[in-house]
Structure 1
Amino acid sequence: MRLLLLLSTFAITNSAFAQDTTAWLEKNSTLIFHDAFEREEDGNLAKAIGNGWNSATADRVPDVKMADIDGGVLKVASASEAAKHAAHIHHEAGFTDGGAVVRFRFPGLSKGESLQLGFVDRETKGVHAGHLCYGILSQSSVTLVDHKTGVMNLENRRRRDEAVAKKQKVPADLEALLKTKSINVPFKADTEWHELILITVGDEMRLTLDGKLIAKHRSEGFAHPMKRWFSFLIPNTVWIDDVKIWKIR
């Protein structure tokens, strides 16, 4: 019943939500975490950012500072080639429905800057590294993707990788399934500061940018009952000024 009421409110207030998502969150949610990065970080390793943040990749390249807090801004410069993985920075979340408000900027320091943010549950079986769902901003598009029942599902991943290894086409049924797991819309990136809000209610995910609804999509993986981590995956350079995590009541 609670979920039906939330989804109904989500649908009825679609216009208001797009115009002022922060107000919608304040009315329907509880703020469970806030970080304005007004401090100094300590070193390069997994917990160096402080305030409960952890990096799943920092210890791979202990001599490289991939995250630097400078003047109240978290400046991420991923050593993706050396670490063999994009910088993965995460914080405890712990909700079924909720989301994050992030003030960010592409600083223009590297080619093809992008930002992937979303939710992870490492305790989930049958899903690679617990990757659940993400919003992805590239220089030319915004993508919302359900990884849990899509490409990170271990069986789907096995079938896809086997086809690739044999230089065969991905099976038609799998290809058709994966196409339903994401939505991609045009987007033109710049180097200004923006406020991004990524939120899930039931099986729907929405992404707004500076108060404008950019993309929404429905897929069963978005309804995963426990989003344990809020995560950033950053393959190059991104600056982050403020993060708020909200749990919908």
Structure 2
Amino acid sequence: MHAPARFIAVLVFALVSGRVATAEDAPAPARKGALLFSDDFSAPAVGKAWRAQWPALAVVDGALNISQEKPQHSAVGMTAVGAKDVVIEFKFKLGASTGINAVCNDSGFKEGHGGHICRVSLSPRQIFLADDKERLSHEIEEMKKDPARKAEVAKLVAGRGKSIPMKLDPQRWYQMSIEIVGDVMSVSVDGKAVGFLKSSGIAHPMKSDFYFAVSGKDALFDDVKIWEAK
């Protein structure tokens, strides 16, 4: 990482965490290894590598359109990964959606909600990074049902998520990069580092799948690429 970009990352961390950050706080950039997945949606239909859940998914004007059609759940487009550490890049436009989640799962992990491991949530006003393995465990989900344990839950999930204030124009395309290496997940938008989260659940040994979950209509994606990170 060049010095200006590293400075931006450190400054953002300081603003979000409320403490003075040092150069050592900013994660080193990941090195891309083997290409695990790529789709530029140049074909007229959604490729077989994508699994639709609570659809609909469609290729529209050379981009992937994901729209929520059922109120019970966000629309999901999922593809296989099969690696521990990854670099994920894609272009996105929020469109008429209220939010996009870019999620890594482990289908073999049964101790947490939906096998979720970690996510980056995108909305018009913020980016949210989360360690889902630790904050959405079955034990914690059960504790949330008891209002008397609210403080206990808050203590257990402290540090498992981070909100980064950022205005995202719903009608503009953005380039997103997500790097997951060890217990650190860092994000960049349009080539600029905007923040990172360090939390133990991120280091889960397998990310079997990656998916987009869309709330609302007409979120667009393009040039999705996933590499194994070195």
Same fold (TM over 0.5): yes
- Name the structure 2 match of 1:3: none
Letter in 2 for 1:156: I
Task: Tell me, in whole angstroms, the C-alpha distance in 1 between the residues paired with 2:82 and 2:7.
Answer: 26
Q: Secondary structure of 2:59's match?
A: strand
- Name the structure 2 match of 1:241: 222
Structure 1 or 2: more strand by fraction: 2
Task: Tell me, in whole angstroms, the C-alpha distance in 2 between the residues paired with 1:221 and 1:236.
Answer: 29
- Name the structure 1 match of 2:193: 213
Closer/same/farther in 2, CA of residues 14 and 201 from structure 1, 3 Å limit: farther
Structure 1 residues 130-169: Cα deviation after superposition (integer angstroms, max 9, x where no partner): 011000111111110011011x2001111112x1xxxx24
Task: Tell me, in whole angstroms, the C-alpha distance in 1 between the residues paired with 2:203 and 2:192.
Answer: 23
2:68–2:214 Cα contact (<8 Å) kept: yes
Structure 1 residues 21-67: Cα deviation after superposition (integer angstroms, max 9, x where no partner): xxx55x442211110001122xxxxxxx2241101223xxxxxxx22
Query: Pick from 62, 71, 76: which aligns with 1:88?
Result: 76
Query: Once superposed, what is the RMSD of the aligned Cα atoms?
Result: 2.2
Taking every aligned residue pair, what percent have the same amino acid on both sides?
A: 26
Q: Secondary structure of 2:143's match?
A: helix
Following superposition, the deviation at residue 17 of structure 1 comes to: 11
2:92–2:220 Cα contact (<8 Å) kept: yes
- Name the structure 2 match of 1:174: 153
Following superposition, the deviation at residue 226 of structure 1 comes to: 0.4
Structure 1 residues 5-26: Cα deviation after superposition (integer angstroms, max 9, x where no partner): xxxxx9x9972997xxxxx55x
Structure 1 or 2: more helix by fraction: 1
**Structure 2 residues not aligned, in runs of 5+:** 10-28
Are positions 1:137 and 2:125 aligned together? Answer: no
Letter in 2 for 1:146: D
Following superposition, the deviation at residue 125 of structure 1 comes to: 2.1
Are positions 1:71 and 2:52 aligned together? Answer: no
- Name the structure 2 match of 1:32: 36
Q: Secondary structure of 2:225's match?
A: strand
Letter in 1 for 2:222: D
Query: Pick from 15, 18, 34: which aligns with 2:6?
Result: 15
Aligned length: 208
Q: TM-score, normalised by structure 1?
A: 0.77
**Structure 1 residues not aligned, in runs of 5+:** 1-9, 19-23, 42-48, 59-65
Are positions 1:195 and 2:183 aligned together? Answer: no
